[in-house]
Amino acid sequence: MITNKTAAKIAKISALAITDRLRSTAYEQVVENFCLPRCGHTPNGDLCAQARQLHRQLLRFLFQAYSQEN
């Protein structure tokens, strides 16, 4: 029988794999639809504060949409 602690670890590991895949999708979308039109270039390092906030919001939205579908 799986304990609650083990089930929580399994859920966390599963969520990390999904989040990693969605993170790259969210980053690409932020760069394409926010950074390029606004700044005219792709960021060379970290996103600016506004783009970083947008990235977090988009990632949250994508994860919620994914979890509702699966």
Q: pLDDT tens digits, residue range 9-52?
A: 887 887 787 888 889 999 999 999 999 999 888 888 788 899 99
3-state SS string over the chain?
Answer: CCCHHHHHHHHHHHHHHHHHHHHHHHHHHHHHHHHHHHHCCCCCCCCCHHHHHHHHHHHHHHHHHHHHHC
- What pLDDT, on the 0 to 100 scale, is given for residue 70? 66
Q: Give the CB-side neighbour count of residue 30, counting CA atoms within 13 A.
A: 22
- What pLDDT, on the 0 to 100 scale, is given for residue 55? 94
Q: pLDDT at residue 1 above 80?
A: no
| Amino acid in the structure at residue 41 | H
Q: pLDDT at residue 54 above 90?
A: yes
Alpha-carbon gap, residue 56 to 62, rounded angstroms: 10
> What is the span of the domain harbouring residue 13?
4-69
- What pLDDT, on the 0 to 100 scale, is given for residue 56? 94
Q: How many domains does the chain have?
A: 1
